[in-house]
């Protein structure tokens, strides 16, 4: 049975979190236990390897003036936003234990998020050709096909993964107006928006861990 050690870093600067992830990657490559890390970040836009400048809807200076940092990162994908109220899940997993199949790994991660959202009575799904998890309709019945609730982007070094998921729990969704999230013309939603009230972050972490362990342990 594979084992993941769970760590909770609380609210942490994104750059500091990246450095801690890199250290964990080195440890896992050397044979240490795999890690499942929870945290939140101050407002920051992270630019993946596929970033396109037209994914910004405002100038860099305008974005920075809103108190939002801009940081290039070594993961796949375009631009995404992290902010308090969004649960960040970093998974440092050794793909040598999972057949070196990155596509299957990402599909499992997406399904963990889908299972988590089902616990909150949110019917979510993955979308063909897109990474992440989407909600097809709001409870009111209004059509918002493709509203995104979970963003996913990973990096891999010597078959060990890092980076992971951003789950919109109680996120200030207005911050996403600064960008085309992941380079897409898509609206963002959150668990709190769906439920109509703030949601316990601790409850989300507990449910995510349970579903994650069911698929990976």
The set of catalytic residues is: 182
Three-state secondary-structure class, residue 65: helix
Smallest CA-to-CA distance from 146 within 154, 155, 136 is with 136
Three-state secondary-structure class, residue 25: helix
Smallest CA-to-CA distance from 163 within 151, 171, 175 is with 151
Three-state secondary-structure class, residue 75: coil
Smallest CA-to-CA distance from 51 within 198, 182, 176 is with 182
Task: Give the DSSP per-residue string, 156-186.
Answer: EETTEEEEEEEEESS--GGGGGGB-GGGSS-
Distance CA 126, CA 173 (A): 20
Q: Are 29 and 139 contacting, i.e. CB atoms less than 8 angstroms apart?
A: no
CA triple 14-19-23, angle to 5 deg: 145
């Amino acid at each position: 049975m594979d084992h993941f050690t769970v760590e909770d870093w609380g609210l942490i600067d994104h750059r500091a979190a990246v450095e801690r992830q890199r250290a964990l990657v080195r440890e896992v490559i050397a044979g240490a236990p795999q890690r499942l890390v929870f945290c939140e970040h101050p407002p920051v836009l992270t630019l993946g390897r596929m970033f396109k400048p037209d994914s910004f809807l405002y100038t860099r200076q305008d974005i920075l003036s809103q108190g939002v940092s801009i940081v290039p990162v070594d993961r796949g994908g375009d631009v995404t936003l992290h902010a308090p109220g969004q649960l960040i899940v970093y998974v440092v997993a050794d793909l040598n234990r999972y057949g070196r199949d990155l596509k299957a790994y990402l599909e499992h991660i997406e399904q963990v998020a889908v299972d988590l959202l089902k616990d909150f009575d949110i019917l979510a799904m993955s979308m063909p050709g897109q990474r992440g998890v989407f909600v097809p309709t709001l409870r009111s019945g209004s059509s918002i096909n493709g509203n995104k609730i979970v963003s996913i982007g990973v990096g891999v070094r010597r078959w060990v993964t890092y980076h992971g998921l951003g789950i919109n729990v109680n996120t200030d969704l207005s911050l996403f107006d600064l960008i085309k999230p992941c380079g897409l013309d898509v609206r963002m939603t959150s668990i709190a928006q769906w439920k109509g009230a703030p949601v316990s972050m601790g409850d989300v972490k507990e449910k995510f861990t349970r579903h994650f362990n069911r698929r990976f342990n």
